[in-house]
Structure 1
């Protein structure tokens, strides 16, 4: 007779589950005029609900790795910021592979990755404390980040 061993997900796995579920819930939220939702693709000819779900699921390992990196580092630091940046870029590459090059969740990788790391660093903090820790990480430079002065994000930074 073999016994089934029940294992609880690690904190990093739980955070990755929550991040992916948030992305799926956002995609499923309807109606969202002009955006992908359960009613259709909105104004996006390159997106559909199934692709949004597949993209979200492809990011699970990246979110878990970001939380694990925060656990290993134990504090907001330049080293953690650089590790999170690399893990985010790796997650983005996997997302783009799964979506055949369609940017479905690039911004979410950044936001939810920082929040996953921050929730690991501040497990007993309220949402505002986790957000403040994420902001502290976001303010640190990532020397390996690609510099594209013509990207939408770069234009927004210059404007605001």
Structure 2
């Protein structure tokens, strides 16, 4: 059975949840209500505080979430579908939202907070390196012992053969 290969999974379509990357509502989510033209869409975010407005496609990122409501539905229907699908919870659990929050936390750090973070990371890395070295040592010690034993056996064999050869020559 042959599957069709679809290169894209996120389409500009009614009900697609988008993340706004530019403008006064940067960092908020909303959903597409209608496609205006090739470069812009009508969006609405009643639960996130984004009013119904036209946005350029260059100002948004398409997410994997999609809700169902009628084409060009009013804000009331969009709000109802948003709550029904529990998009606020889904969004807050997504990796995208976590990265966005972490980025803002890092941007809000003071000089002293950055210094403390640097020190904590260096301490963590030292502990990690020591544990890694212990694991390597525990792993490679038996291998080294077997290699030493093999080398010792080879040396003994070579020594015996040299002694045997030197005894024959005399």
TM-score, length basis structure 1 = 0.22
* Greater Rg by CA: 2
- Identify the structure with the greater helix proportion: 1
- Identify the structure with the greater strand proportion: 2
TM-score, length basis structure 2 = 0.21
